[in-house]
Structure 1
Amino acid sequence: MAFSELLDRVGGLGRYQALQTVALMLPIMWLVAQTMLENFSAAVPSHRCWVSLLDNSTSQVSVLDPETLLAVSIPPGPNQGPHQCRRFRQPQWQLLDPNTTATNWSEAATEPCLDGWVYDRSTFTATIVTKWDLVCDSQALKPMAQTIYLAGMMVGASFSGPASDRFGRRLVLSWSYLQMAMSGTVAALVPTFPLYCLFRFLVACALASVMMNTSTLLMEWTSAQARVLMMTLNSLGFSLGQVLTSAVAYGVRDCSMLQLLVSAPFFLCFVYSWFAFGFTFYGLVMDLQGLGSNIFLLQVLIGVVDIPAKAGSLLLLGCLGRRPLQALSLVLSGACILANTLVPRELGALRSALAVMGLGCMGSAFTCITIYNGELFPTVLRMRAVGLGQMAARGGACLGPLVRLLSMHGPSLPLLVYGTVPVLSGLATLLLPETRNLPLPDTIQDVQNQAVKKAAHRTRGCPVLRSTQL
């Protein structure tokens, strides 16, 4: 008798499953905070070059107001505000003449920010951008840090599957909790940017393992009738994590303290652990500044919209099946993102609404894929197959932040790429088999038997012409 059949007989939705779901959902909420962290800890505040006239406490010029001193010290930037990356070599006092125009100074009269930058700290007291000056010529280091983090998720996914099959799901999950807690804590305290990237990489490796083992444990220890409910509840943990992230970041505006706060709970998860998507999503959701001005509200809206989207998928999975819902969610997500390429930037509220809707559809697709992925493969190959799927997803996710660099060639190019990928993926989903109401296969033979039964069902009732010999 297969284990899934035995579980159905003895009861696959009891006290053990309830405790297991609670114990596994709580870390998932904090796990989301680790991924969404850099929306806040790596936010880029307004900045300008440090200049002696304004920022040197021993400066003798005090009769002029700060706006006047700023005008003679910093050239205007592309947005008509103070230039963020250049300053005048010498104060341009002639600019105080009302008859003077912008042509009275040239690029040769300016220089880079040789003495550092002054940052607006009204929203965030400290971010990794202000801590290590990841602006101007170093601005590409921020998406590189995000890519390194997502590469860690890809590496973690490649090792987690084989390790879980060899040492067991629970042992690997417990180790992953400990690794996330320790690496995240060290990342909050390191003095240099390369070390920060290294320990964030280690956090991501463990994070991928937690995601994979959590979904697999819930899948394997729940009856077929309750499996969709459990996986939807697990998926809702990601939605609640979005809201939790914004709440924590709103209260803690220092990047080091924020990193420490979202890492420390995993020590607790490690203690109680015996109880126990890719390119487009991470490309958009790790750059909320590009979607709107109020990143705190956007983070909350993404989580809030995610909840009904995933709850609705619970009903649609039973009505439509896995394959149609997966395809529909991905295509709708891509359509919302592509529609944003046609909306003027002045309509910020509409652009934010379309982006949130697209991410909500992506949340529905995430719920579906966590169920679908586990049902497609037999137990003997499930973790390896899930690991390969995670590697593919994290490989795409690694490219997500880098795609934003295309905006230098055209502001709509990143959205065009982010929207096209899920549409093509959704159409490709139609090539997969349907797994609704089928038992989890234990062996490769079980998968083959299911295929044979489907083929027999399709040909049932069809007349067969036979040749008989007299």
Structure 2
Amino acid sequence: MNFDQILSAIGGFGKFQKILYIWICLPQVLLAFHMMVSIFTGATPSHRCQGSPSFEVWNQSLSAAHVSPNFSLVESACFYSDVNHTRLIPCGQGWVYNQETFQSTTVTEWDLVCDRAGLNTLGSSIYMFGLLVGSVAFGAMADRYGRRFVLLLSIALQTMFGVAAAFSPNFIVYVVLRFIVGATISGVIINAFVLGTEWTCTKRRMLAGIITDFAFGAGYMLLSGVAYLIRDWRKLQLAISAPGFLLIFYIWVVPHSARWLLANDRRAEAIALLRKAALVNGRVLPPAVQVEKCCIAGGERRTSKVVDLIQTPKMRKRTLILFYLWFVNMLVYYCLSLGVSRLGTDLYMTQFVFGLVEIPARSLVLITLPFSRRLSQSVFMALGGLACLLMLAVPADHPNALTAMAMVGKFGITASLAVIYVYTAEIFPTVLRQTGIGVSSMFARMGGVLAPVINMLHNVTPTTPLLIFGTSQLLGAAMALALPETANRPLPDSVEDAENWDLRRPPPTQEHLATCEAPGPDQQHLQHLAGQH
């Protein structure tokens, strides 16, 4: 029996798996906190130089600077407005900040304005670089040391360094700590997702990605309320980090991936874990599996390397396509998010709506994925690309129409992101799954880092960013059609399985086992199945 048959036999989405999903969803709420908190902790409130005019006059001067040819200087220069003109002046007396919205931020504490405003942007870039480093490092570690170990390690490091960031004595220490937190976020995301995927039967494994996305969206919306109540950046940083200590019980409740244990020749541990899962689900582990030397696919011991992703022809083609899809998805997602951030005047309500709008996109994915991963990926990317191109036809004096079209694009790219997690995990074999997702995530982070640069082209020609977004997504939609269909197919365990995908057919007797909710077969039937395989 292969592993997917065993999962189905013991209840592929039973009580054991549902409890596991609770454990992998809870950290996603904290991830959303850490990912989005800089919107509040790093905000730049209205400010003025000591002895300068009031905040209102200062804000008018900034508005005047926005429409001047010196737009690019706004972030790095100091503007002063008097009765007749706006001019550039230094500020040697120190800064005074408007505290109506924020009691304090990293900007107000370390004066990251005027000639130091670039440091705030640099800090954000370093944080994104941490996400990139973590996606590679923790992905490779998980294939070697196991999903559970790296997940627990990432949560522990995220909590400790997140709390430490709240007590940073200076900006440099703060940036270093945020870099580490960013790296651990990638470790939690990819390991929680893969752990859920590898414990879920064929027809329900898409839930591993989508359900965790819903939890992330819930955290996205909840952060707005937390930040609204806590206006001091240090207290807010502490409030989003300290709850991680409550997850210490994960040491006792989060299981290993039995699939990973088998792929690494740790059969005794895998069988004991499968027996426990069967017991929790009210099933019986097939007798042929209960012996340590049972014949289960995917038991070869090997060390995975990044180069293994491109050594064979079919794996190479699929890997390169997936890398491109990840890059484009994240690039367009961040660019559109930055573009629609100007829709509302209330920062807290705007961020709440941004989290809310992603719920229907991910809900639609739940409906389409059971039919086809490949078509879902292609259609949602095409939707996002067409929406971006259609924005070129909307006049600039119709902001409501532009906003509506931008939201359609964000809807499409959000759904596409939900699909790509599931699709990638199903295409890469077990021995390379974590490494493949880690490197794919690295390309995604490259897209995130590049997004602000692409958005800056809007100052030169407003059509260029939209052309890039639209054409890149349409190209990705076409490339996705060259990938294999993975819906209702067993996961490949080795590179050979992936290369021979078209030759792999579910055995005839597996039909009734394909459904997670099928009644548990009796012992004689299990012995009959074991004898056939």
TM above 0.5, yes or no, is: yes
For residues 221 and 395 of structure 1, the distance between their equivalents in structure 2, rounded to whole angstroms, comes to 30
CA contact (8 A) 1:36 1:285 kept: no
For residues 395 and 75 of structure 1, the distance between their equivalents in structure 2, rounded to whole angstroms, comes to 32
Residue ranges of structure 1 left out of the alignment (5+ in a row): 56-65, 96-101, 455-470
Alpha carbons of structure 1 residues 225 and 166: separation in structure 2 relative to 1, 3 Å: same
**Correspondent of 1:86 among 74, 79, 85:** 79
Determine the structure 2 residue equivalent to 1:458.
none
Deviation at 1:6, TM superposition (A): 1.0
SS in 2 for 1:118: strand
1:403 aligns with 2:381: no
Amino acid at match of 1:243: M
SS in 2 for 1:48: strand
Deviation at 1:315, TM superposition (A): 0.9
Alpha carbons of structure 1 residues 373 and 75: separation in structure 2 relative to 1, 3 Å: closer
Farther-moved stretch of structure 1 (331-340 vs 209-218): 331-340
For residues 488 and 233 of structure 2, the distance between their equivalents in structure 1, rounded to whole angstroms, comes to 47
TM-score normalised according to structure 2 size: 0.72
For residues 250 and 416 of structure 1, the distance between their equivalents in structure 2, rounded to whole angstroms, comes to 37
Determine the structure 1 residue equivalent to 2:421.
370
Amino acid at match of 2:41: S
Alpha carbons of structure 1 residues 214 and 195: separation in structure 2 relative to 1, 3 Å: same
Deviation at 1:388, TM superposition (A): 1.2
Identity %: 35
CA contact (8 A) 1:2 1:442 kept: no
TM-superposition CA deviations, 1:120-165 (whole Å, max 9, x none): 2212222222222223333333332222111111101111122112
Determine the structure 1 residue equivalent to 2:13.
13
Deviation at 1:432, TM superposition (A): 1.5
Deviation at 1:424, TM superposition (A): 3.2
SS in 1 for 2:205: helix
Residue ranges of structure 2 left out of the alignment (5+ in a row): 69-73, 255-328, 506-533
For residues 440 and 131 of structure 1, the distance between their equivalents in structure 2, rounded to whole angstroms, comes to 51
SS in 1 for 2:369: helix
SS in 2 for 1:398: helix
For residues 500 and 66 of structure 2, the distance between their equivalents in structure 1, rounded to whole angstroms, comes to 65
Determine the structure 2 residue equivalent to 1:426.
477
For residues 417 and 231 of structure 2, the distance between their equivalents in structure 1, rounded to whole angstroms, comes to 30
Alpha carbons of structure 1 residues 341 and 259: separation in structure 2 relative to 1, 3 Å: farther
Determine the structure 2 residue equivalent to 1:327.
378
Determine the structure 2 residue equivalent to 1:260.
238
TM-superposition CA deviations, 1:272-315 (whole Å, max 9, x none): 25433622223443676444423322222222221121111111
Determine the structure 2 residue equivalent to 1:25.
25
TM-superposition CA deviations, 1:39-60 (whole Å, max 9, x none): 22222222232216x68xxxxx
Alpha carbons of structure 1 residues 143 and 418: separation in structure 2 relative to 1, 3 Å: farther
1:304 aligns with 2:282: no
Amino acid at match of 1:85: C
Determine the structure 1 residue equivalent to 2:125.
147
Determine the structure 2 residue equivalent to 1:379.
430
Determine the structure 2 residue equivalent to 1:242.
220
Structure label with greater radius of gyration: 1
Determine the structure 1 residue equivalent to 2:498.
447
Q: CA RMSD in A?
A: 3.0
For residues 292 and 342 of structure 1, the distance between their equivalents in structure 2, rounded to whole angstroms, comes to 23
Determine the structure 1 residue equivalent to 2:44.
44
Alignment coverage as a number of residue pairs: 423
For residues 224 and 283 of structure 1, the distance between their equivalents in structure 2, rounded to whole angstroms, comes to 34
CA contact (8 A) 2:104 2:232 kept: yes
SS in 2 for 1:189: coil
Alpha carbons of structure 1 residues 120 and 238: separation in structure 2 relative to 1, 3 Å: same
SS in 2 for 1:156: helix
CA contact (8 A) 2:80 2:86 kept: no
1:435 aligns with 2:428: no
SS in 1 for 2:89: strand
